[in-house]
């Protein structure tokens, strides 16, 4: 009987793990979900650590813990309990296109070296890391090659893959690079399971929520526009043209303007990004610049052009400003340039930046603008994504809870995606 018990026990695997830069618990949700489906693996979290209080509060609420802020840099490696698996969604800002992409030169980019210090001391069998896909291209690919080399020097087999959450049951395009290190096991990524049928937003929208949190006047303007064109799937920004963009002058967001003034706005929007204007104004950096009255006269003829431009400035459809140039990585007004007319509003200037189409998927949720993504309910209610929808879009279970005092948009803009991680765990442990 004892021999039989020992045989059964030997097939049962206990895995201690640490959850670094734990955020709201994307790795842990995946681990617990995977464990519930596995009959022979028990996972035990011996350390979870983050520095952001809202994320810690959320983590504690969902996993019944009492963690406090923990600066991972301050961890004494020898005092960390032994662990078999290290998980970390280490800071992405040093590598993200939304930041300055400084890589290792950013203090936060050095987190990977602390992770390696922990691995060198404890020698976990498995390492699972997540970061933005731009990690692959920073410094001409040198960042990722450095990471690979350093782990290989610790005798790890190193694998990395760029994966998108939309292929794993989430109605969100969220590309991330996953780095997996093993001491003894070889991995076959051809066995990684992805879904052939994709979820869309219609599958996760909470149609019972008909409470709008958007300015009623703005909604009225949108609904009025919707009578004449399809607005679901459209961005709301003055910076770009195309059929999938809605502009402030179409909405008459800042007051009524004439058809001629609308045509003038459309012309300026299209012309301001053309490179020959940058050459003319001796601007080395170019991304939409102010055009003078004389510039505009070359492509828009109208007897009342000056009056129209002044009216559009007074209603804040246009602003009168000098050119900007790129100096030491910052956009700075070029004081010796002649002032001209420029578009006022980017996508973050409006109550919402995009109306999501129910048959499509969400763009990548970010901490800066996920609160400006909206849906239309019953063709009359326009509202931003609610917490339940954010939970579902990111692959968290419906029972996941968010404390009332925290900003859920910020949290879900900075999380790891559980369904992707779960499939990687299957690859590691099955």
- Its sign, for the CA torsion 34, 39, 41, 43, is positive
In angstroms, the CA 419 to CA 373 distance is 22
Contacts of 93-99 with C-beta under 8 Å, sequence gap 24+, read: 94/138, 95/131, 95/132, 95/134, 95/135, 95/138, 95/143, 96/132, 96/134, 97/132, 97/134, 98/366, 98/368
Beta-carbon contacts of 242 under 8 Å, excluding residues fewer than 6 positions away, are: none
In angstroms, the CA 12 to CA 16 distance is 13
**Active-site hit among 21, 92, 143, 181:** 92
Strand partners, 85: 17, 126
Contact in structure between 386 and 209 (CB atoms under 8 Å): yes
Rg (the chain; Cα; Å): 26
From 418, 45, 398, 152, select the one nearest 426 (Cα to Cα): 418
Beta-carbon contacts of 111 under 8 Å, excluding residues fewer than 6 positions away, are: 21, 72, 73, 88, 90, 91
For residue 181, indicate whether it is catalytic: no
Beta-carbon contacts of 177 under 8 Å, excluding residues fewer than 6 positions away, are: 130, 131, 132, 133, 135, 136, 144, 160, 161, 162, 163
Provide the 10 A C-beta neighbour count for residue 40: 9
- Point out the residues that are catalytic: 92
């Amino acid at each position: 009987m004892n021999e039989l018990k020992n045989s059964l026990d030997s097939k049962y695997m206990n895995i201690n793990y640490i959850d670094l830069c734990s955020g709201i618990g994307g790795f842990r949700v995946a681990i617990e979900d995977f464990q519930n489906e596995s009959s022979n693996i028990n996972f035990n979290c011996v350390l979870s650590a983050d520095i952001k209080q809202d994320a810690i509060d959320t983590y504690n609420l969902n996993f019944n813990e009492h963690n406090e802020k923990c600066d991972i840099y301050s961890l004494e490696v020898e005092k960390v309990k032994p662990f078999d698996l290290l998980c970390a969604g280490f800071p992405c800002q040093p590598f993200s296109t939304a930041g300055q992409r400084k890589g290792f030169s950013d203090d936060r980019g050095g987190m990977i070296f602390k992770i390696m210090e922990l691995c060198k001391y404890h020698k976990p069998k498995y390492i699972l890391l997540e970061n933005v896909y731009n990690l692959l291209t920073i410094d001409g690919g040198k960042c990722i090659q450095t990471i690979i080399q350093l782990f290989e020097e610790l005798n790890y087999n190193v694998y990395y893959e760029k994966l998108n959450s939309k292929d794993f049951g989430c109605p969100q395009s969220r590309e991330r690079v996953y780095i997996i290190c093993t001491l003894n096991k070889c991995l076959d990524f051809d066995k990684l399971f992805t879904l052939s049928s994709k979820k869309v937003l219609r599958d996760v929208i909470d149609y019972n929520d008909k409470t709008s949190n958007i300015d009623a006047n703005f909604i009225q303007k949108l609904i009025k526009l919707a009578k004449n064109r399809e607005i679901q799937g459209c961005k709301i920004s003055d910076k770009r043209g195309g059929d999938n963009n809605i502009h402030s002058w179409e909405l008459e967001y800042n007051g009524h303007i004439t058809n001629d003034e609308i045509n003038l706005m459309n012309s300026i929007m299209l012309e301001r990004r053309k490179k020959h204007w940058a050459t003319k104004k001796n601007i080395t950096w170019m991304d939409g610049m102010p055009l003078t009255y004389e510039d505009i006269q070359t492509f828009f003829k109208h007897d009342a052009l000056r009056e129209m431009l002044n009216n559009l400035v007074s209603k804040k459809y246009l602003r009168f400003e000098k050119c900007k140039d790129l100096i030491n990585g910052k956009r700075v007004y070029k004081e010796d340039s002649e002032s001209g007319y420029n578009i006022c509003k980017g996508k973050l200037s409006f109550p919402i930046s995009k109306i999501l189409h129910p048959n499509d998927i969400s763009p990548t949720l970010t901490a800066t603008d996920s609160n400006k993504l909206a849906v239309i309910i019953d063709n009359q209610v326009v509202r931003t994504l609610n917490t339940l929808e954010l939970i579902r879009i990111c692959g968290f279970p419906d029972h996941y809870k968010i404390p009332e005092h925290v900003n859920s948009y910020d949290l879900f803009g900075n999380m790891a995606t559980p369904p992707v991680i779960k499939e990687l765990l299957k690859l590691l442990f099955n």
